[in-house]
Structure 1
C-alpha cells in the first residue's frame, strides 16, 4: 500500500509544487499513460480523466503529514497548492522509488497550463481511436474549451515529446 503513496510523494518531490487539483489529476494520468507505474484507476469526468483513488491518496498523505495542502481563494473559486513536507521528504528518503526519468516529465508538465494538460489527457484517454475520432470527441465533450485543430496537433506532439523523455536512459 505505501509503495503507491511513495510513488505519488516522489511525483510531488519532483514537481516542487503543484498548483490545482485538476492539474495534479492530469499530470499523474499523463505520467501513467506515458509508461510510469502509477496504479490509480481513472474514469472520464467533466475535466477529462479523473481518479477518485488519487483524490483519496492525496487526502491520506495530507492527513499523515507528508503533504501540505494550502487552500487559496482565487476570484470566485478555491485553488489548492501541494508541496511535500519535511516529514514527507524523510519518509521518501527511506522508501526508494525507481523512476529516474519522472522528474523531467513532471517538471515539464508542471510548466504547462491546466487547460493544455486537460487536452493532452483527453487525447491520451481516447488513444485507441484514430486521430479524427479523437478530434470529434474533443469537439463534442470539450466544446466549452474551444480547442483548435492546432492545439490538438500540439497535444499529440507534446505526448511524443513526453514519451521520448520517459524512455529509460541506458
Structure 2
C-alpha cells in the first residue's frame, strides 16, 4: 500500500536534495529502468519520459509534510523532512526494498538536461527500439541536446551495470 511512498522516501533520504522536477522525474525513471520497483507509468512528453502518477505522489508527500518543496526563481528543490524520515523508519520493518545508493549519487550529480537525454534514450530502448534506432530517434526528438547523445548512451549502459 505504501510501496511508492517508501521507495521515494528512501530516494530522498539517500539523495539529500534533488534540484528540479524534471531531474526528479528522470532520476526515478532511470532508477526504475535499472531495477528499482517504482510503480509509476511513464509517457513521453516534451522533456522526455514523464509520470503524472509520480508527480501526484510527490504532491501528496509534500502536503503531508514528508517532503519539503522549496520554490525559487530557479525552480523546485525537494528534501525529506523529519516527518518523512520517521514514516520511512516505521515502514522499514514492512518493506525491505533497497535503492542503489551509488546510482542515486551518480544520477543526482548529473544535470537535468543530461538526464533528459539519458532518460529519453532509455525510454526508446524500452519501447523496442534497438540502440541505433533509439539514438536516431533521440536526436530527432532532442536536437538541442545532440552534443551529449554519445555520452548519454555510454552513461546509460554503465548505469545498467551499477
Q: What is the CA RMSD across the aligned residues, in angstroms?
A: 1.3
Tell me the distance in 2 between the aligned counterparts of 1:99 and 1:161.
22
Give how far 1:123 is off: 0.6
CA–CA separation in structure 2 for the residues paired with 1:54 and 1:60: 10
Q: Which runs of 5+ in 2 are unaligned?
A: none
Matched, 1:160 2:162: no
Counterpart Cα distance in 2 of 1:58 and 1:100: 19
Structure 1: gaps spanning 5 or more residues: 166-170
8 Å CA contact 2:27–2:107 kept in 1: the answer is yes
- 1:57 Cα deviation (Å)? 0.1
Q: Following the alignment from structure 1 to structure 2, what is the Cα–Cα distance between the partners of residues 4 and 101?
A: 12
Query: Shift of the alpha carbon at 1:132?
Result: 2.2
Question: Paired residues, what number?
Answer: 158
Contact 1:11/1:102, CA 8 A, preserved across alignment: no
Does the 8 Å CA contact 2:70/2:76 hold for their aligned counterparts? Answer: yes
The aligned counterpart of 1:63 is 63
Q: TM-score scaled to structure 1, two decimals?
A: 0.88
TM-fit CA distance, 1:146: 3.6
Q: Which residue of 1 aligns with 2:2?
A: 2
Q: 1:65: how far off?
A: 0.6
Q: Normalization by structure 2: what TM-score? A: 0.92
Q: Distance in 1 between matches of 2:159 and 2:135?
A: 20
8 Å CA contact 2:62, 2:69 repeated in 1: yes
